[in-house]
């Protein structure tokens, strides 16, 4: 069999570390990504983005103090559905791009889609992920508070020409959400990133690495993008999920797995009461 031109497998990473101090005291006892967004925990939304795209192997990168909670919730929920979850503990957050270094052995010779555990999208990225071959693909969403994000500037042909992390002066209204698709070389590329002044391996530097090689594509997000990082945005996320019925549009596999898990919990609860 000729495998020379065979497209690499696509794997997934969900980055769910961090302390989420802006959500204290809600996150004093649990991870932000395990907080509820309408009718299910936040983490199921990025999981759905990957599963809908056909990704069957997913690495969860979590903080050590919350690793047990992730295992309790997700350790067996997909065991009969062909979705394989792996867990990696990130003791010290070193920037978003560090996930590709932590996950190097997991990624192997595969391409990889990474999504941040607190990012919820209305758009379906399945075609973008399934059709990806090489290089990198990120996305842009028009915002009003551009100072808070990594920003991409386009030329008159809608081609990305500059990416800047939290610019002090306006260059564009297009922020980069937490969904990134990269080829099998991404771990090596991440190792070449020079840490920033705050000592982090910035994802923006990784984007620029591929941009300078003319290997970065930037798509535009049309629907809602929610990062649920403050009290207001967490509430807004729940309201938008309810209004747009986003949880009803989940992959059937996810909904079935959640329903089975809920039923299992009810049975266990009854046994404890008897």
- pTM of the model as a whole: 0.94
Three-state SS string over 187-254 comes to HHHHHCCCCCCCCCCCHHHHHHHHHHCCCEEEEECCCCEECCCCHHHHHHHHHHHHHHCHHHHCCHHH
- pLDDT tens per residue, the chain (274 residues)? 344 567 899 999 999 987 778 899 999 999 999 999 999 999 999 999 999 999 999 999 999 999 999 999 998 889 889 999 999 999 988 999 999 999 999 999 999 999 999 999 999 999 999 999 999 999 999 999 999 999 999 999 999 999 999 999 999 999 999 999 999 999 999 999 999 888 899 999 999 999 999 999 999 999 999 988 889 999 999 999 999 999 889 999 999 999 998 898 888 888 877 6
Q: Which residue, among 195, 190, 171, 172, has the nearest Cα to 180 in the 3D structure?
A: 190
Q: Measure the CA–CA gap between 273 and 228, rounded to whole angstroms.
A: 36
Which pLDDT value is given to residue 5?
60
The residues, ordered by sequence, that sit 6+ positions from 46 with a Cβ below 8 Å of its Cβ are 14, 115, 116, 117, 119, 120
The residues, ordered by sequence, that sit 6+ positions from 237 with a Cβ below 8 Å of its Cβ are 37, 38, 42, 120, 226, 228
Which pLDDT value is given to residue 1?
39
Conformation bin of residue 250: beta by default, left when phi > 0, alpha when psi is -120 to 50: beta
Q: Using the structure block, give the residue that is written with the tokens 């990168």.
A: 61
Which pLDDT value is given to residue 4?
54
Retrieve residue 34's tokens. Answer: 């395990």
> Would you call 195 exposed, middle or buried from its count of C-beta atoms within 10 A (0-12, 13-18, 19+)?
middle
Q: Measure the CA–CA gap between 214 and 273, rounded to whole angstroms.
A: 62
Q: Using the structure block, give the residue that is written with the tokens 């759905």.
A: 48
The structural domains of the chain, with segments of one domain joined by +, span 10-138+177-273
* Helix ranges (DSSP H) in the chain: 44-52, 67-74, 98-102, 104-107, 126-130, 186-191, 203-212, 231-244, 252-273
Retrieve residue 232's tokens. Answer: 């207001």
Q: Which CATH number is 10-138+177-273's, of 3.40.50.450, 3.20.20.150, 3.90.550.10, 3.90.1150.10?
A: 3.90.550.10
Q: Measure the CA–CA gap between 3 and 23, rounded to whole angstroms.
A: 48
């Amino acid at each position: 069999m000729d495998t020379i031109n065979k497209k690499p497998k696509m794997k997934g990473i969900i980055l769910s570390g961090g302390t989420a101090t802006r959500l204290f005291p809600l996150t004093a006892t649990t991870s932000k990504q395990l907080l509820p967004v309408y009718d299910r925990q936040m983490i199921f939304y990025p999981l759905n983005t990957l599963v809908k795209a056909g990704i069957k192997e997913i690495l969860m990168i979590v903080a050590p103090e919350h690793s047990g909670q992730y295992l309790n919730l997700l350790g067996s929920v997909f065991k009969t559905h062909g979705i394989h979850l792996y867990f990696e503990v990130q003791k010290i957050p070193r920037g978003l791009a560090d996930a590709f270094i932590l996950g190097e052995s997991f990624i192997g010779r595969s391409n990889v889609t990474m999504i941040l555990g607190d990012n919820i999208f209305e758009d379906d990225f399945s075609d973008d992920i399934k059709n990806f071959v090489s290089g990198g693909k990120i996305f842009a969403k028009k915002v009003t508070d551009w100072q808070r994000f990594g920003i991409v500037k386009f030329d008159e042909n809608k081609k990305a020409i500059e990416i800047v992390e939290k610019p002090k002066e306006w260059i564009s209204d297009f922020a980069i959400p937490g969904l990134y698709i990269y080829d099998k070389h991404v771990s090596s590329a991440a190792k070449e990133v020079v840490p920033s002044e705050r000592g982090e391996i910035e994802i923006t530097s990784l984007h620029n690495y591929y941009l300078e090689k003319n290997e970065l594509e930037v798509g535009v997000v049309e629907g809602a993008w929610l990062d649920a990082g403050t009290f207001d945005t967490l509430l807004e996320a729940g309201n938008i999920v309810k209004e747009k019925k986003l949880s009803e549009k989940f992959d059937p596999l996810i909904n079935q797995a959640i329903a089975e898990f809920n039923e299992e919990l009810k049975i266990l609860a009854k046994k404890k009461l008897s």
